[in-house]
Amino acid sequence: MKINFIKSKIYLYTIGAVLIVNFVSCKKDSGNTPAQITSSKCIIQSETYGLAANEKSFGYEYDTKGNLVNVKVFRPNGSESASYAIGSNIVVFRYTFGSKPASDELKYNVSDLTLELPSEATTTLVNEFDATVQVNYDFYFFYYDAKNQLIQVSQRKGSRKGGNEYDLKIFYNDKGNVTGLKYSWFTGPNEDIPGVIVTDYDDKPNPHASIKAWKFFLINNNWQNNDPGPIIAALSQNNPLGFSVGAGQNLFERKIVYEYNSDGFPTTQKNTNKNASGEYTFYQTFTYVCR
């Protein structure tokens, strides 16, 4: 599935209806030197994602030192649809477009994401179908607080023609968990984008706790995303128990319930989406190797 760098809406499914929320975000890709494993007890091996019309699964591959180097994306029938090659400062998303190979690349301005915090990243898009290479397609700028928590992502156009630009502000509690996401247009419609408010967290490690700098990989969903859940989790220490977007008749809510392994890592995640049209439930699952 090709990641659309200039998508400006997020689609959240409920029974018989789709809630369309004005929600924007940023793109992430790469592939050269590996992402390091932390001292986490359990290392993720596979993941399934069951959101309607976006079902997929992931296989995580590590080098002999235990560093994440590749993530394969599979269709519901088990065939491979795409892959992410992960490097020390780059992620390359490889897929097929028009029966031809294509890739989207995001490169950060540091030599090793596991040792340094990036302040900037650039994207390059390669498409053999129409023989195009778009260098510096978009720029992304990253800002941090005194605790080195990522508090703002700004997207700006490079060689991209048309489309909007935005800023994302990120808010945390004193436990290092995201309490809210707020997008605003830098260039684009003169309208407010509803914020995402996180209700609460458990006290357990999240599935990708073993992968240092995971927030800059965001394999399942990147900054520009059909679902804010993985963004919230990637930026947080623990697992979110729910979040909401909008208010009144436009209110969207998600409640999340987990099952855990004996080491406290989620093995099943039950997501229940609710809006004025009804409810819809989908599941995510995770497998690990634990030490």
Running DSSP on this structure, what letter comes out for residue 266?
E
Task: Please report the pLDDT score of residue 25 as a whole number.
Answer: 34
Task: Please report the pLDDT score of residue 230 as a whole number.
Answer: 85
Report how far residue 106's alpha carbon sits from residue 216's, in angstroms, rounded to the nearest whole number. Answer: 10
In degrees, to the nearest 5, what angle opens at C-alpha 288 toward C-alphas 282 and 291?
Answer: 150
Task: Please report the pLDDT score of residue 218 as a whole number.
Answer: 67
pTM: 0.84
Report how far residue 82's alpha carbon sits from residue 235's, in angstroms, rounded to the nearest whole number. Answer: 24
Report how far residue 223's alpha carbon sits from residue 217's, in angstroms, rounded to the nearest whole number. Answer: 10
Residue with tokens 């992410």: 84
Report how far residue 12's alpha carbon sits from residue 280's, in angstroms, rounded to the nearest whole number. Answer: 10
Which residue stretches of the chain have pLDDT < 70?
1-39, 218-222, 224, 226
Q: For the segment 40-79, what is each residue's pLDDT rounded down to a tens digit?
A: 899 999 999 998 888 999 999 999 888 899 999 999 999 9
Task: Please report the pLDDT score of residue 226 as a whole number.
Answer: 63
Task: Please report the pLDDT score of residue 107 as a whole number.
Answer: 95
Query: Could you name the CATH architecture of 9-290?
Result: Beta Barrel (2.40)
Contacts of 231 (CB under 8 A, 6+ apart): 25, 181, 218, 221, 223, 225
Report how far residue 280's alpha carbon sits from residue 16's, in angstroms, rounded to the nearest whole number. Answer: 9
Q: Where are the domains of the chain?
A: 9-290
Q: In this structure, are residues 244 and 271 in contact, taking their beta carbons and an 8 Å threshold?
A: no
From first CA to last CA, the distance across the chain in angstroms is 34
DSSP bridge pairs for 155: 140, 166
Q: In this structure, are residues 117 and 142 in contact, taking their beta carbons and an 8 Å threshold?
A: yes
